Amino acid sequence: MARPRPEPTDPIAELVESLLAELGEDPSRQGLQATPDRVARAIRELTNGYGVKPEEVIADAIFDQDYDEMVVVKDIPFYSLCEHHMLPFFGKVHVGYLPKGKIIGLSKIPRLVEVFSHRLQIQEQLTREIAEAIDTNLAPKGVAVVIEARHLCMEMRGVETPGGHMLTSSMLGTFRRDARTRAEFLDLVRRAPDV
């Protein structure tokens, strides 16, 4: 006989329990007893970017530096949930900027990606938000962000087309105005890493 589950205290867990029952499942059966709490914890973790301000993430990691060549951080892995179906999309983010007297600590760029990807998102918006946060907080000559991702909402439902990748870009400042700068960034992103 299945043991009764303790009363959920998290409102999301309560909703998940109701969802399981609505699907025709028995939330008290052994395999599902802890599922509402697990799902609630997972959803809260996957959306913990709402309470984080980008300027707080990078404020203590902007440094004066007389460096005027392109800085590129590529292949930053990310996972997010699409705001339309709450299904995962995931892939890699490539970020470049042209400093104007200031640089940002290397670890802060992946942290910005995490902040924005841990919200319900669409890829186009995620791309733009990362670029705008760097532009606003660092004030470089330009910022470029390219994201390539797979979307389970397309692979698991709807057209059910596995393996397709979506590419989005946001080019600000010099990257938007100067085709050579944009081309240099895109060439660097396409290159296989030598390390």
Q: Is 118 a catalytic residue?
A: no
123 annotated active-site: yes
Indicate which residue of 14, 85, 148, 184 is catalytic.
85
- Options 82, 114, 121, 129, the catalytic residue: 82
Q: Which of 33, 132, 153, 184 is catalytic?
A: 153
30 carries an active-site annotation: no
Q: Which one of 84, 94, 129, 165 is the catalytic residue? A: 84
| Residue 124: active-site member | no
Q: Is 165 a catalytic residue?
A: no
Q: Active site residue: 94, 114, 123, 129, which one?
A: 123
**125 among known catalytic residues:** no
Q: Residue by residue, what is the 3-state secondary structure of the chain?
A: CCCCCCCCCCHHHHHHHHHHHHCCCCCCCHHHCCHHHHHHHHHHHHCCCCCCCHHHHHHHHEEECCCCCCEEEEEEEEEEEECCCCCEEEEEEEEEEECCCEEECCCHHHHHHHHHHCCEECHHHHHHHHHHHHHHHHCCCEEEEEEEEEEHHHHCCCCCCCCCCEEEEEEEEHHHHCHHHHHHHHHHHHCCCCC
The active-site residue out of 30, 83, 124, 165 is 83
Catalytic residue among 151, 155, 165, 184: 151
Give catalytic residue positions.
82-85, 123, 151, 153
